[in-house]
Chain A
Amino acid sequence: MADRRGYTGWGRTAPTVARPATAADPAQLAEVIEAARAAGRGLIARGLGRSYGDAAQNAGGTVLELTGFDDISSIAADGSVTCGAAVSIDSLLARTLPRGWFVPVTPGTRFVSLAGAVSADVHGKNHHRDGSLASHLSGLELVDGLGVHRSLTPADPLFWGVVGGMGLLGILTSVTLRLRPVRSGRLVVRTSRTRDLQDTMQVLAEADRQAPYTVAWVDCLAAGRRLGRGVVTAGTHSEDDGLDARPRQPLPLPAGLPGNLLNRHTVAAFNELYYRAARPGVARLPYWQYFYPLDALAGWNRLYGRAGFVQYQFVTADPADVEWVIAALRQHGAASFLAVLKRFGPGNPAPLSFPAAGWTLAVDIPAALPGLAGLLDRFDERIAAAGGRVYLAKDSRLGRAAFRAMYPRLPEWSSLRDQADPHRVFVSDLSRRLAL
């Protein structure tokens, strides 16, 4: 393995260089942890690199590339399955869906490791009904900062430090979760078009009462009264259609694309087309088309060119904040190719878990956009004042003070971390930036 390697998150910003390491079993892991402690710049585990920002990189230190730990147990009658922490949702579904089991919660890509999913406490389109991933976990295996193997259940306080803890309490080696029984690999999806943001929110809230999976794509560039118009999709697992719904292999992104492919004009044109193409009505879609539309294009993050992009995702209880942010984005000329709105149900006991009752908006913005830093700082201020927060798995630029205002339970988490990792072996660029 190369002596040093450059790492970035999915947004391809803020590259730093670290020593890569691997480990095949917990004993080797303990050695890697000890070596990283001796070398002085710490260690962070990296799964499939889908965090957008700097959560899975560690400048000058060690990055553990989680490649072993890929066993999947047999599925118990209640749907429980124990997986190596490096298992991806993609490979888990390939094993379990033919047997009639689906993952309880999935983010917008199936190419995440379970260790990463737990560490970010991921949510999906069913958060309003089923909560985040943590609600479906029954056990975690972890090697902590002292090299000690720990088995955690939701009854252990440390469990809730690991959930949403961004990998800073230890290296996860296995995850036990309860799967959801399904009869089909397809979903019945109802699509509606909305006129403006208020309409989008109303339709979304109504859909939440009927369907387990709901989400809205929002047009942040539509002018005037149409601002915030969107397409709401509400999905339910189909009762028939069979279980053989193997996903299509991702297509590679063509080489030699210009760097500024996603600009204000192309995105406005895309938004218009997408809005018009969304046929209101009911369709049956394979699960991968419904949950993972972007996985169809491998490396779509390269569309933003060399400068990369940031994703800003926040949650707030007040719908007026969402409207204000969308209006400010449009005024600034921030073309967001992807703007996704979703209503969250209540949060969970993890001090650093992101979801909380209210509205969450996620927008992708080219990092080179002039004035972006100041714009997002203004958003932070308003979101923090409203008791909301931004999602660390997406973040690459939050300031320390704003972070502390958004996550007031940080001291609780820090004391859990001090139990699991008293010497602060686990370090990432994110933990340095936010003084975690």
Chain B
Amino acid sequence: VIDSLGAPESVLVLGGTSEIGTALIEQFRTSGRLRRVVLAARPSALRDQLSSRLAGQLAEVRTVDFDATDLDRIGETMRACLDDADIDVVVIAAGVLPDNEEALRRPAVAVEAAQVNYVAAMAALLHAADALRRQGHGVLVVLSSVAAERPRAANFVYGSTKAGLDSVSRGLAEQLRGSGVTLLTVRPGFVRTRMTAGMAPAPFSTDPTTVARAIAENLRGPSRVIWVPGLLRWVMLALRAMPAAVFRRLPQ
């Protein structure tokens, strides 16, 4: 269980090698209460490296093979992640950032992004919500994006996949009221990670540690939408209301 001061004992990361997921595990580890981590990710050298490093620091580390493009097996994978013991925090961090230009030339790229970022993430989220509802406690963390807010010419494919997930996430948060389970919909700005390497950082960019800290600070209390950095909430409020002719002229 998550204690009165917000320290969890166990965490499951879907997209277990994601930098935000890793930063979040580090953040939780500082409380000294974290004992168990489940990393669900595709087999990779990075996953092995991460799990063996964590195994030296925590009582129990498990890896589960998870392929977000294999939609038929998601239920089975989630059961493998969740069935043997309580999980305090489930982080849905699996995602890809498609090249928008390439997706315009090859729509299959857009379809795959939608499968990973939206369809698979939704399926995993719904399975996790069901397990947490039964255990009567826990926090679901869904990594959405600021790109979910208003489509732009430069990255609307990615934005639309996150918009779908964001919508499921906020709707589910409402549905979970009274269940003991809360849900954090996290909307970071541009995060400097492997996924965005080589891209010019947009305004209000941030890093995985800052995102992780914002999540950890909001683990107690009701479901909510978290912006990182927090100022983005107000920036996006303004951008949403902006006429298209003006929005278009902003630096992309």
Q: Does B136 contact A (CB under 8 A)?
A: yes
Docked Cα-Cα span, A13 to B137, in Å, equals: 13
CB atoms of B4 and A13 under 8 A apart: yes
A432 touches B1 (CB 8 A): yes
Q: Are A16 and B220 in contact (CB under 8 A)?
A: no
Please provide the chain B residues from 1 to 42 with a CB less than 8 Å away from any CB of chain A in the complex: 1-7, 9, 31-33
**A residues in contact with B178, CB < 8 Å:** 4, 6, 17
Determine the distance from Cα of A13 to Cα of B135 in the docked complex, in whole angstroms: 18
Contacts of A17 in B (CB 8 A): 136-137, 178-180
A146 CB, nearest partner CB in chain B, Å: 25
Interchain CB contact under 8 A, B4 and A396: yes
Interface membership of A124, Cβ < 8 A = no
A60 touches B134 (CB 8 A): yes
Q: Does any Cβ of A come within 8 Å of B149's Cβ?
A: no
**Cα(A26)–Cα(B168), bound, Å:** 47
B-contacting residues, A287-345, CB 8 Å: 306-308, 310
Task: Indicate whether A367 reaches chain B with its CB closer than 8 angstroms.
Answer: yes
A13-B220, A17-B178, A59-B180 given; A54·B136 CB < 8 A: no
Among residues of B, the one whose C-beta sits closest to the C-beta of A17 is B180
The CA of A325 and the CA of B240, in the complex, are separated in Å by 51
- Bound complex: CA A399 to CA B59 (Å): 14
Residues on B with C-beta less than 8 A from A372 are 5
Among candidates A6, A14, A432, residue contacting B4 with C-beta atoms closer than 8 Å: A14
B251 CB-CB contact with A under 8 Å = no
Of A6, A59, A60, A373, which contacts B5 at CB under 8 A?
A: A373
Q: How far is the CA of A397 from the CA of B5 in the complex (A)?
A: 7
Q: Does A433 reach chain B (CB closer than 8 Å)?
A: yes
Q: B4–A59 contact, CB under 8 A?
A: no
Are B136 and A18 within 8 A (Cβ)?
yes
Which A residues lie within 8 Å of B32 (CB)? 377, 399
Q: Which B residues lie within 8 Å of A377 (CB)?
A: 32
Residue B67 CB within 8 A of the other chain: no
A58 to B3 alpha-carbon distance, docked (Å): 13
Partner of A399, one of B33, B179, B180: B33
> Chain A contact residues (Cβ within 8 angstroms of B): what range?
20 to 34
Contact flag A429-B1 (CB < 8 Å), given A60-B137, A373-B6: yes
Does B179 contact A307, Cβ atoms closer than 8 Å? no
B86 is an interface residue with CB less than 8 A from chain A = yes
Which residues from A are CB-within-8-Å of B1?
Answer: 14, 16, 54, 59, 429, 432-433
Which residues from chain B contact A11 at a C-beta distance below 8 Å?
4
Taking a contact as CB atoms closer than 8 A, the residue among B6, B31, B135 that contacts A60 in the complex is B135
User: Do A16 and B6 contact each other (CB < 8 Å), given the known contacts A373-B31, A432-B86?
Assistant: no
Distance (Å) between the CB of B55 and the closest chain A CB? 19
B221 interface contact, C-beta 8 A: yes
How near does chain A come to B177, taking the closest CB pair, in angstroms? 10
* Residues in A neighbouring B179, C-beta threshold 8 A: 4, 17
Contact across chains for A59 and B7 when beta carbons are under 8 A apart: no
Contacts of A15 in B (CB 8 A): 180
Q: Which of A13, A59, A308 is close to B136, meaning CB atoms less than 8 Å apart? A: A59
| B137–A367 CB distance below 8 A | no
Q: How far is the CA of A306 from the CA of B221 in the complex (A)?
A: 8
A145 within 8 A of B: no
A396 pairs with B3, CB closer than 8 A: yes
Which residues of chain B are within 8 angstroms of A54 by Cβ–Cβ distance? 1, 3-4
For B30, the closest partner residue in chain A by CB is A374
A18 to B136, CA, bound (A): 6
Q: Which residue of B33, B86, B220 is within 8 Å of A307 (Cβ)?
A: B220
Q: In the assembled complex, which residues on chain B have CB atoms less than 8 Å from the CB atom of A399?
A: 32-33
A17 to B136, CA, bound (A): 5
> From residue B103, how far is it (CB to closest CB) to chain A in Å?
42
- Would you call A41 an interface residue if the criterion is a C-beta within 8 Å of the partner chain's C-beta atoms? yes
Q: How far is the CA of A432 from the CA of B3 in the complex (A)?
A: 11
In the docked arrangement, what's the CA distance between A306 and B224, Å? 15
Chain A residues near B7 (CB-CB < 8 A): 373, 397
Given contacts A15-B180, A16-B136, A60-B135, contact A53 B221 (CB under 8 A): no
Given A6-B178, A399-B32: A308 touches B4 (CB 8 Å cut-off)? yes
Q: In this assembly, does A61 line the interface, its C-beta being within 8 Å of a C-beta of chain B?
A: yes
Given A59-B1, A429-B1, residue A16 in contact with residue B33 (CB < 8 A): no
Measured CB to CB, the closest approach of chain B to A202, in angstroms, equals: 35
List chain A residues, Cβ under 8 A from B9.
433
Could you jot down 7 A-B contacts, CB within 8 Å? Answer: A14-B2, A17-B179, A17-B180, A60-B86, A60-B136, A306-B221, A432-B86
- Name 11 extra pairs, CB < 8 A, besides A54-B3, A60-B180, A373-B5: A14-B4, A15-B180, A17-B178, A54-B1, A54-B4, A59-B1, A308-B4, A372-B5, A397-B4, A432-B86, A433-B1
Chain A residues engaging chain B, CB cutoff 8 angstroms: 4, 6, 11, 13-18, 41, 53-54, 58-61, 306-308, 310, 367, 372-373, 376-377, 396-397, 399, 429, 432-433
Closest 10 CB pairs of A and B: A17-B180, A60-B136, A13-B4, A396-B4, A59-B136, A59-B137, A373-B5, A16-B137, A60-B135, A17-B136
